[in-house]
Chain A
Amino acid sequence: MSKKSGMTRRQFITTSALAGGGLLLACHVPFGNRYASAAADSSFAPNAFLRIGSDESVTVIVNKSEMGQGVYTSLPMLVAEELCCDWEKVTFVPSPVATEYNHAQFGPMMVTGGSTSVRSEWERLSLAGAAAREMLIAAAADEWQADPAACRAEKGVIHGPGGKMLTFGKLAAKAARLTVPKQPKLKSGSKTLLGKPLHRLDSPAKINGTALFSIDVTAPGMLTAVIARPPVFGGKVKNLDASKALAVPGVKQVVAVDAGVAVVADGFWPALKGREQLQIVWNEGEGGTVSTAAMAKEYARLAATPGLVARRDGDASAVLEKSKKRIMAEYELPYLAHATMEPLNCFVDLKKDSCLIRTGSQNQTADRNAAARVAGLKPEQVTLETTFLGGGFGRRACPSSDFVVEAVQVARKTGSPVKVIRTREDDMRAGYYRPMWFDRITACLDGQGLPLAWHHRIVGQSIIAGTPFESGMVKEGIDATSVEGAADTPYAIPNLQVELHSPRNAVPVLWWRSVGHSHTAFVMESFLDELAHTAGKDPYQYRRALLTRYPRHLKVLETAAQKSGWGSPLAKGQGRGIALHESFGSFVAQVAEVSLDAKGQLKVQRVVCVIDCGRIVNPDTVKAQMESGIVFGLSAALYGAITLKNGRVEQGNFHDYPLLRLAAMPLVEVHIIESSEPPGGVGEPGVPPIAPAVANALFAATGVRVRSLPLTPDKLKAALRDKT
């Protein structure tokens, strides 16, 4: 079992040095000289993703952060499929930060996000495996003086004419001296690994307590710090008295950083006790005036005024003007916290001319560069090692590198290695959030009851404005992530207008698992359901009628209806709702079955989920990611809301920012559409449809339409009361 678990970097270097003479496909291997010298020749190869040891080990170097989505298995599977190695010999190591490991599509940075890991690496890693296989075959053929075409690779062995056999390990040193093929040929024929539900390589470490998360990093002489942060965004220290904090046993230092005041101690607990003793007077500035209640009013006001046009087909305004019957609805969605189970934290060992960062980053290049900037070093003097991430959901890909910057600022003043840990309350109150949204849609129907005109205004902060991504992702004032899933709707609507307002305020916002789709799917799929009911049509058939040009959408929709028994009777008080959404190159339909009790407690009993994500690496991972997306989306739909009053975030921990618990877990069935289409994402596309599926099911069960999230008991009780 142990050989299946991920090695630490140091174990890996040691192993590499011991297993000298291996085949290393790398033009530049940034692990240090010991590693590079282990290879017979490290200057010839075109990629840095694979190493074959003379001990038969196959190590895949993974440039994506593992935060639950299984990249430490799916990416090695891509390499191993083409390499034709023995899967039992495959291990993984996280890659360092280097240009070779930059995202294949997102530009010059190493980053994990956008449900792109498999999609963006499929080709590159397949070719890496294929190139190595061809070199091993060439080495064997040379050894035997045989025709390479008469040799083949299978399960870690090259087979030649006359039953000759040589293992990869025995061939590694020789293969390492060969030229890397420029255009390796991918295998033809059936797959041996892809499409099979292989067990995850990182599971053993994750169940025995040895998986190293950022919070587990230690070093000799390491100190631990917590930071007292201003009660409002943008607040600054006006007056500080640290004397009582410094008197707490174990507290070593109190230092000012941009984020607030750090208490540095010889452990977490003394640091926390020290922080409780700080006496700080804050200058709150404008931040103290922010409230989400006031923002909601302002957003509603903005929604009544024209915004920037993100999509315009036909003339929705003119058609609506002439229409006798208009249907209007307004939807509201709150700020949401990522609430990763591992609170944000970062380890820094800063020396005069070097800096080691060990943390759970999704955005290594940006975090490394930010660390260098703060430390006054060059980026190449900073080493960033990616640990396991105790959840990511976008939070650890923060363009401001906030949790790394604050840790390096603390490290500049400690002179010892230091780990800065956020408490749950720090994590929840210091930002960043999924933006709050307000949407207004007005529509009218044609003679068949189908939408004739649809006018949609969206109000909410841009997550991209002010980040380095602005020039690429904000066009003519429109942040593509604010309107994704709405402005590009596949539904056939002849007169469609989508407008956007992007108000600015002090609340820090960021992508949150499924980004814009977490908002737009709820609005689009809820309103479509309302139109279907207004027209007296079945919501499933209504969607079908609007998607005749979209076979992949139709297929997941129809499969979800069929697998869920759409239209079959349910027990009294229960309802069924359907929703469909395309995101990150994948198509997902979900049917939820719910019931509501007299206390307003909504119970989601069953969810049928159908995904078409194109070609698949590991079907069990796809299934797990759908289950995961559904739970993530349900936590938001049922409970999630970050609110601010007098600039203060009103939630702090899991009692007032609840997450779904096991007893509330519905039965989830996942069905995967077999497909030869290009691969789509799976980490995020399971999230968007669940909230509208549940809200639509609630309507089917009760006749109550709730247009704001979360679906709290108080809100549902009030809605039921209003109905009667």
Chain B
Amino acid sequence: MIVFHVNGQERRVDANPETPLLWVLRDNLGLNGSKFGCGEGLCGACTVQIDGTPQRSCITPVGDVQGKQVVTIEGIAADHAVKQAWLAQEVSQCGYCQPGQIMSAVALLEKKPAPTDSDIDAAMSGNLCRCGTYGRIRQAIHAASKKNRVKGGSKS
């Protein structure tokens, strides 16, 4: 039995510990927001956060997340600055890669609230988008960062 937290909830899964986390999320837990794209950690469609770090769930054995905190796209609030910026910039096209893109962007902004273009290049280049939404992704990350900082500034 593997015990870990997904989006704040404790989950117990009876699975072969070698099973990639992605397939446990999808096939065992019914969380289909994280997508299968390559199975090799090459495209980022399966990106989730594990203890606050973005990871490719398609190459993460579920045994490795025992006792850890996993956050998926379903665990990011609808009013999160990144999701709101994604809507405002009209990023999505086919939409298949976007959960992974958003998970990488959320993690980037948690680590670097005011990322430079090269920070964005480094953090986001593991996420492929066949529809070519990269320009809008960059704009949306800057917009979310700005909104966060304005909000943060007013609090202090």
A-to-B contact residues, CB < 8 Å: 1, 66-70, 199-200, 202-213, 215-216, 218, 224, 249, 266-269, 339-343, 388-393, 421, 423-424, 620, 624, 627-632, 635, 653-655, 659-663, 665, 667-668
B37, B86, B126, B132: the one contacting A424 at CB < 8 Å is: B37
B33 touching A210, Cβ below 8 Å? yes
Residue B54 lies at the interface, judged by CB distance under 8 Å to chain A: no
The reply to whether A68 and B135 contact each other, CB–CB distance below 8 Å, is no
Cβ of A202: which chain B residues have Cβ within 8 Å of it?
Answer: 92, 95
Task: For the complex, give the distance between the alpha carbons of A631 and B20 in Å.
Answer: 31
> In the docked arrangement, what's the CA distance between A312 and B92, Å?
45
B16-A662 in contact (CB<8A): no
Residues on B with C-beta less than 8 A from A341 are 35, 37, 43, 45, 94, 96-97, 128-131
Q: Which of A211, A215, A249, A424 contacts B95 (CB 8 A)?
A: A211
Distance, CA A551 to CA B148, complexed state (A): 48
Q: Is the beta-carbon distance between A269 and B136 smaller than 8 angstroms?
A: no
B131 cross-chain contacts in A, Cβ below 8 A: 68, 341, 391, 628, 631-632
- Interface flags, B39-51, vs A, CB<8A=1, else 0: 1101101000000
Contacts of A630 in B (CB 8 A): 132
Tell me the minimal C-beta distance from B133 to chain A in angstroms.
7
Give how many B residues have a beta carbon under 8 Å from the other chain's beta carbons.
Answer: 58
Report 28 cross-chain contacts, Cβ distance below 8 Å, ordered by A residue: A69-B93, A207-B86, A207-B87, A207-B91, A207-B102, A208-B76, A209-B73, A209-B99, A215-B36, A216-B26, A269-B19, A269-B20, A341-B97, A342-B37, A391-B94, A421-B36, A423-B39, A624-B133, A627-B132, A628-B93, A631-B131, A635-B130, A655-B40, A659-B130, A661-B126, A661-B128, A665-B132, A665-B134
Which positions in B face A, CB cutoff 8 Å? 16, 19-20, 23, 26-28, 30-40, 42-43, 45, 72-74, 76, 78, 83, 86-87, 90-99, 102, 120-122, 124-138
The answer to whether A424 and B121 touch (CB under 8 A), given A208-B33, A659-B130, is no
Asked whether, in the complex, the Cβ of A659 is within 8 Å of the Cβ of B36, the reply is no
- What is the bound-complex CA distance between A392 and B95, given in angstroms? 12
Contacts of A653 in B (CB 8 A): 38-40, 42
A15 CB to closest chain B CB (Å) equals 21
Rounded to whole angstroms, the CA-CA distance of A20 and B19 in the bound complex is 48
Q: Add 10 more A-B contacts to A199-B87, A339-B130 (CB < 8 A).
A: A208-B73, A209-B32, A209-B73, A267-B27, A269-B19, A388-B95, A389-B94, A628-B93, A659-B130, A665-B138
Given A269-B19, A654-B38, verify A632-B130 contact (CB < 8 Å).
yes
Main secondary structure of the interface of A (DSSP, over half): loop
Complex Cα spacing A441 to B136, Å: 40
- Contact across chains for A391 and B90 when beta carbons are under 8 A apart: no
How long is the Cα–Cα vector from A266 to B16 in the complex, in angstroms?
13
* Contacts known (A662-B124, A663-B125); A209 close to B132, Cβ less than 8 A: no
**Cβ–Cβ < 8 Å partners of A205 in chain B:** 95
Residues of A within 8 A of B30 (CB): 218
A628, B132: Cβ atoms closer than 8 Å: yes
Q: Which of A267, A341, A627, A655 has the most CB of B within 10 A?
A: A341
Known A267-B27, A269-B20; judge A424-B128 contact (CB<8 A): no
Q: Which residues of B contact A393 (CB under 8 A)?
A: 130
The answer on a CB contact under 8 Å between B27 and A269 is: yes
Tell me which residues across on chain B come within 8 A of A199, comparing CB atoms.
87, 90
CB distance from A203 to the nearest CB of B (A): 5
Using CB atoms, name the residue of chain B closest to A210: B33
- Distance between Cα atoms of A423 and B37 in the complex (Å): 8
B138 contacts A68, CB within 8 Å? no
A654: contacting residue among B27, B31, B42, B137, CB under 8 A: B42
Nearest-CB residue, chain B, relative to A656 = B42
Name the distance in Å between A185's Cβ and chain B's nearest Cβ.
Answer: 33
Q: Which residues of B are found within 8 Å of A632, using beta-carbon distances?
A: 130-132
B87 near A203 (CB under 8 angstroms)? yes
Residues of A within 8 A of B31 (CB): 209
**Complex Cα gap A389–B94 (Å):** 7
Residue of B31, B74, B98 with highest tally of chain A CB at under 10 A: B98
**With A199-B87, A204-B87 known to touch, is A654 a contact of B93 (CB < 8 Å)?**
no
A contact residues around B92 at 8 Å (CB): 200, 202-203, 206-207
B67 nearest CB across to chain A (Å): 21
B27 and A224 within 8 A (CB): yes
- Interface contact A213-B128, CB-CB below 8 Å: no
A659 with B33: in contact, given A209-B72, A388-B95 (CB under 8 Å)? Answer: no
